A and B are shown apart, each in its own frame.
Chain A
């Protein structure tokens, strides 16, 4: 809260927080257009897409999603 980030960084963070909730949260019920097999993969795939697109903007994008909680 005390840190000032560039506006585009803020927006990117907000998007990540949003995706983390709408794709990984919410009640899971089976629809007819089934993505159930891909449920978990889907989130990871989407976030990978996000990382690769964000990664190209950042010099320090070194690690993959889903690894250690820190570092």
Chain B
């Protein structure tokens, strides 16, 4: 069905049973109706899109346009999340486009075992993101206060000692926060099937003066999500000046790409 000027945008891979039901009513990045392409026991959720907007050159250009990028990213995620609500799903990285349905079927057949293993791995599980922010000033002040001698000595020596403490306190605060981040990650890993520490988002992106000391993401059994959230709350109470932020549940974006599919 190769028609000039259209391509097949892939959203996700799932089991073929109920695939038509699971994609019904969803609309994709071009506003197109999402449909299922079936091969054996697997199906891909796809949409037919115009190559004038989603072809190679157009994609390169458009991905640099923040408004376009954010709108399409939300649309792609809406389809993946919509399918995730009704069962296991492997999200496909955004901007994977085929020439026709036959090519998609070929891929499903060719990589059947890898997709099957990936679906097993994510079944009944969701992804939760946890970020930890530390306020360097708050931490440093806390450390300095803790070390203040109770006698209130006002001599020159005391002044010099206090000044030196101030200069090293930021470094100490950083080391303390990094240690806390390690502890938080280790604790969360105990409530998760798997977890990863991603690079911290740039300060200019987070829009905070605080350090991002942890940008973790975790694959959690759906039955254990409440426990995971309670653990996050408990951790936050014991970490003092560190603020935790949870995002999700997400479809397993960060845990579906581990399976070798090339």
Contact = CB atoms under 8 A, between A and B. Distances in A.
Interface stretch (B60-68, B142-150, B153-161): B60-68
B87 interface: no
B233 to A, nearest CB: 8
A58 B198 CA distance: 24
B254 A33 contact: no
Contacts of B54: 33
Nearest to B51: A33
A42 B247 contact: no
A32 B245 CA distance: 38
Interface in B77-128: 77, 80, 90-99, 103, 107, 111, 115, 118, 127
Interface in B205-262: 205-207, 209, 211-213, 232-233, 236, 243-247, 250, 253-254, 256-257, 259, 261-262
B204 interface: yes
29 contacts: A2-B243, A13-B207, A15-B70, A18-B74, A20-B201, A21-B77, A21-B127, A22-B76, A22-B93, A23-B94, A27-B91, A27-B261, A28-B96, A28-B262, A30-B262, A31-B96, A31-B97, A31-B98, A33-B51, A33-B99, A45-B64, A49-B64, A49-B65, A50-B69, A51-B204, A53-B66, A65-B205, A70-B174, A70-B200
Interface of B: 7, 10, 13, 51, 54-56, 59-60, 63-66, 69-70, 73-74, 76-77, 80, 90-99, 103, 107, 111, 115, 118, 127, 129, 133, 174, 178, 198-207, 209, 211-213, 232-233, 236, 243-247, 250, 253-254, 256-257, 259, 261-262
Interface of A: 1-3, 5, 9, 12-23, 25-35, 38, 42, 45-47, 49-51, 53-55, 58, 60-67, 69-71
